[in-house]
Structure 1
Amino acid sequence: MDISLLVATWNNSKRLAITLDAIAQCRVPAGVTWELVVVNNNCTDDTDAVVASFSHRLPLLLVHEPVQGLSRARNAGLAAASGDLIIFTDDDVRPCPEWISVYWAAFQKRPKGHYFGGPIESEFEGSPPPKELLEVAPASVRGLDWGQSERALTASEYFIAPNWACPAAALRSAGGFCETFGLNPASGRVSVGEETDLMHRLSALGMIPWYLPEAKLKHWVPERKCTLGHAAARAAASGRFSGETAGVAFVGPRLFGAPRWAFRAAAQSGVEALVYFVIRRRDYKPYVRWLYLREYIRAARAGRPRASGNGQR
């Protein structure tokens, strides 16, 4: 098998149907064999019926993962996939018709030593959020675009879940997704970082993240995610992830087990956020930065760094 396209889903059958319809319209190069692996992660809606309705249009493989958790679902999909190239996406996207072809061409040109990703354009359920909110929103809300040139990403750039691909052999070497991280409605809190963790391990193996500007897709963003509350929750979750994964790698002086610089930065951001609130300035960056640093410090002080490692079963 040449390509396995992997979609994990949980109780989102209406958007999944739109996603499957868009994938069915993608052009696949002649002679390329592929499969679409859909992982039902303990859904209670009509997901299976929706998937079955596309059986005449798509080379589908339906996998059931009864244990809740996005990372666990993706690992279940990886275990079932047989393609040499794994393309990851979400259940609420609309890729361009050339999407699969662009990834395959890149893989043919760079079959080893690279993983790939493309731009994401947000499709908002309602009106686009105001500028001051987009400035602090996660990339899953505001979208992602690293320009019009095909190139290696810099150290500060990254891919996100709806639009990236990697050779299967490299994913196996890296150990798949760490199931400690990732969204899980059963956990009672927002948790993120599963792709970041895996991509860090890929980079540690010498893999280069390669940006493909023509591998475009549109990502649906519901109104409930276009809020300061959502941005704040994601920032806090990112802070926890950073504090947990840094572990003993902290350098420099510490205070109560966490880097001293983090306390200084958190204090500065907190004061700035309070001033902005008092003068009614609509700039949320200090507040969101304070939340990130607060959770970073808490995770660092807890002294329980979660090591990145093999998450596959």
Structure 2
Amino acid sequence: MASPTISIIIASKDGADTLPPVFEKLTEVAASYDDIEFIFADNASTDKTPDLMQDFSKGRNATVVHEPRPGKSYALNTAMERANGSLLVFIDDDILPANGWLEAYRDAAAHNPDTGAFLGQIRPEFLASAPDWLVHLTNIGKCCGCTPLSLAEGPCPPRFAKGGNWAIRRTALEGLRFDEERTNLRAGVKPTGGQDTEMAHRLERKGAGVRFVPSALVHHQIQPQEMTKEFIFKRYQRLGRGAAAQGNRSFARNLLLPVEIPVLAIISGLGWLFGADRLAAVNMTRLAACLGRAEYILGRAGS
């Protein structure tokens, strides 16, 4: 077996419902390459996730690590410590790689030696009938961890980094680790998230560069319970907390939150009332993110 040039990393907490089809796709990937390895990080799961990881790993160049501290950043950092590849490819436990996915990353890394991070395309795999407004949100990159259809191949802002499908050149890291404090998903009473975007911002600031590779395509399994307005609203509140934790909005902009919140609430409410569902949905996500920002800021001020 050749020394690995690519490490495929998955961190999962209680992913037993979505991992089986992921491993079906990765079986095809494993059969196509002899220079890859898999690193699976079980993040304090209470279901059959560790067993599924062990079963897939049998007879393959794969390692299963156990991170008892709940928090995606903890699990990713533990996995990275065990990875040997020169290119680290990250996907989530509900991601289905398309044909040519890994080859697209390999080609992008080979043809762009000065780029440190590569972002792949993410499209939804709805497991129930999706309303038009939800499809619209995914098409513009505002829901379900999807990338916008309008995003063109080439250099792109780090804000488009999605943890479900991206890759980092090992030499670009130079000791960087995923943030284990402010943006660590599932860590703490009020989870934030955004550790992947935060890492992409740090890579760009150190000159590593970020590039979008649409041919590195995956599909994201969207469960029926994830397709409701309530679920999406709560998710965007969490994303708002994560954005505030990263400090990527000026103090002056944050002062506008008391004005933005009621305005967005009115626009979204009227949109739903009069059948302008796409408009309502977009402003619903903005409202939730603003509420999340305000919640984080007020929580910090009171601590």
TM exceeds 0.5? yes
Shift of 1:94: 1.7
Distance 2:215 2:222 in 1: 21
Whether 1:3 aligns to 2:6 is yes
Pairwise mapping of residues 1-313 of structure 1 onto structure 2 (< 5 A)? Answer: 1-26=4-29, 33-56=35-58, 58-128=60-130, 130-135=131-136, 139=142, 141=144, 143-146=146-149, 150-153=153-156, 155=157, 158-184=160-186, 187-246=188-247, 250-252=250-252, 259-276=254-271, 282=277, 283-303=280-300
Instruction: Structure 2 unaligned segments of length 5 or more: list them.
Output: none
Give secondary structure in 2 for the equivalent of 1:67.
Answer: coil
For residue 271 of structure 1, what is the amino acid of its counterpart?
I
Shift of 1:268: 1.8
For residue 255 of structure 2, what is the amino acid of its counterpart?
R
Percentage of pairs with the same residue: 21
Distance 1:132 1:140 in 2: 10
Contact kept in structure 1, 2:143 and 2:232, CA below 8 Å: no
CA gap of 1:123–1:297, structure 2 versus 1, over 3 A, is same
Shift of 1:275: 4.2
Distance 1:13 1:167 in 2: 29
Distance 1:142 1:37 in 2: 22
RMSD over aligned CA atoms reads 2.9
Q: Larger helix proportion, structure 1 or 2?
A: 2
203-212 vs 155-164, greater mean Cα deviation: 155-164
Contact kept in structure 1, 2:163 and 2:197, CA below 8 Å: no
Report the TM-score when normalising by structure 1.
0.82
**Paired residue total:** 295
Shift of 1:56: 4.8
Report the TM-score when normalising by structure 2.
0.84
48-57 vs 4-13, greater mean Cα deviation: 48-57
Distance 2:153 2:284 in 1: 35
| Moved >6 Å (runs of 4+) | 27-30
Shift of 1:102: 1.6
For residue 37 of structure 2, what is the amino acid of its counterpart?
E
Instruction: Structure 1 unaligned segments of length 5 or more: list them.
Output: 253-257, 306-313
